[in-house]
């Protein structure tokens, strides 16, 4: 017994600070692990995976937040906070898996933890994928921005046509009526010229010179000229108003378009980069495969502590942990039974005195 005690004391001093830190990361009970040196490497390895997962989560979230707020220190602070949360969550997931019980019970117990670990792996991998494919994503972002600008211009053109439609319709009506006046004037001018030259037609006498018919046609021409000028004078102010309204609509929408284009030029946030990466994957099988492998790598990294804990055989640590927990259960049950017995004794004693 003395030799065993000495051996345990000797083994306690063999744990260096780094091993101890990794064991703490694994979520194991250090006091029990000190008594099971054969388990040190296993739990140090599990703790290392949990630690590196937290480091990658910190880098991932820092980059994701930086693309949103463009503030390094704020992004780093949030990244560290997110990394600590992932670290604590992974540590709990691993430590909550018990090696006692049947294999089927262990599988059922591990399924929700594996699902959660897979989900965390996807979350961690996506920002790092964006960083790895940053050049390709930036190029695709420019393509998306230009496409959005083109769509915006098409929408603006449609709105310009829609809002200017009443003004353009009225201008067209004025122009058509003005063309009619002009046509009447031109027709009168041609008839007068034919009459003076003596060209025979249905509307001319065929006599050369400025006779009575030519005089009447001269008066008709002057009358139609006055009609044309009067209509031009009547509609000049209205046409000027319509042109101003059309120009106002165009200027307002052009200002709106330029303002919107300014926002489009800044279309480089996290969601936009996710969209660009998704389009890259759809357009390139190589990028899609590479992104899938990167995501798979982080999912494997995230679920590996759970799988290692699941497939590993029951060791001394598990037996000691089960014994410790069972001792507490027995102690608790014993205290409860003693308390109940003492209460029953007091009640019976009180009844006997009545």
Answer yes or no: are the C-beta atoms of 293 and 113 closer than 8 Å.
no
Answer yes or no: are the C-beta atoms of 90 and 305 closer than 8 Å.
yes
Give the pair of three-digit tokens for residue 74.
């704020």
pLDDT value of residue 1: 44
* Measured distance CA(293)–CA(296) in Å, rounded: 5
pLDDT value of residue 337: 87
Q: Which positions ≥6 away from 282 have C-beta within 8 Å? A: 288
Task: Please state at what angle helix 72-95 crosses helix 103-132, rounded to 10 degrees.
Answer: 160
Residues in the chain, total: 354
The sign of the torsion formed by the CA atoms of 132, 136, 142, 147 equals: negative
Instruction: Tell me how far CA of residue 181 lies from CA of 188, 223, 226, 326, 335, in angstroms.
Output: 11, 11, 10, 109, 114
Task: Find the DSSP H helices in the chain.
Answer: 2-12, 17-25, 30-33, 40-69, 72-95, 103-132, 134-197, 212-265, 270-283, 285-311, 316-352
Give the pair of three-digit tokens for residue 340.
């109940």
pLDDT value of residue 21: 92
Instruction: Tell me how far CA of residue 152 lies from CA of 21, 161, 266, in angstroms.
Output: 56, 14, 15
The sign of the torsion formed by the CA atoms of 167, 171, 177, 181 equals: positive
* Measured distance CA(36)–CA(12) in Å, rounded: 10
Answer yes or no: are the C-beta atoms of 125 and 299 closer than 8 Å.
yes
Neighbours of 25 (CB within 10 A): 24
Give the pair of three-digit tokens for residue 24.
């703490």
User: Which residues of the chain are modeled with pLDDT < 50?
Assistant: 1-12
101 φ/ψ sector (left φ>0, alpha ψ -120 to 50, else beta): left
Give the pair of three-digit tokens for residue 280.
């890259």
């Amino acid at each position: 017994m003395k030799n065993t005690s000495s051996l345990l004391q000797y083994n306690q001093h063999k744990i260096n600070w780094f091993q101890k830190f990794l064991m703490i990361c694994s979520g194991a009970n250090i006091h029990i692990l000190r008594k099971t040196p054969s388990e040190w490497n296993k739990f140090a390895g599990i703790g290392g995976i949990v630690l590196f997962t937290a480091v990658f989560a910190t880098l991932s979230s820092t980059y994701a937040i930086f693309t949103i707020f463009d503030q390094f220190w704020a992004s780093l602070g949030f990244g560290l906070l997110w990394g600590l949360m992932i670290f604590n969550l992974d540590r709990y997931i691993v430590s909550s898996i018990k090696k006692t019980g049947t294999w089927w019970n262990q599988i059922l117990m591990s399924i929700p933890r594996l699902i959660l670990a897979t989900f965390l792996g996807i979350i961690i991998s996506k920002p790092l994928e964006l960083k790895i494919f940053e050049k390709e994503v930036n190029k695709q972002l420019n393509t998306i921005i230009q496409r959005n600008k083109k769509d915006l211009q098409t929408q603006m053109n449609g709105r310009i046509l829609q809002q200017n439609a009443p003004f353009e319709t009225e201008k067209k009506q004025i122009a058509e009526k003005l063309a009619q006046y002009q046509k009447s004037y031109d027709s009168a001018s041609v008839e007068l010229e034919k009459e003076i030259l003596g060209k025979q037609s249905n509307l001319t006498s065929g006599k050369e010179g400025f006779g009575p018919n030519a005089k009447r046609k001269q008066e008709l021409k002057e009358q139609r000229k006055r009609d044309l000028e009067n209509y031009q004078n009547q509609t000049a102010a209205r046409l000027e108003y319509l042109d101003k309204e059309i120009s106002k609509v165009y200027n307002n929408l052009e200002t709106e378009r330029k303002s919107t284009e300014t926002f489009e030029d800044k279309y480089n946030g996290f969601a936009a980069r996710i969209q660009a990466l998704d389009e890259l994957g759809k357009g390139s099988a190589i990028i899609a495969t590479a992104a899938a492998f990167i995501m798979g790598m982080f999912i494997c990294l995230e679920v590996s502590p759970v799988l290692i804990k699941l497939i590993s055989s029951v060791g001394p640590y598990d037996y000691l942990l089960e014994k410790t927990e069972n001792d507490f259960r027995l102690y608790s049950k014993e205290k409860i039974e003693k308390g109940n017995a003492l209460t029953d004794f007091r009640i019976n004693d009180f009844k006997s005195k009545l």
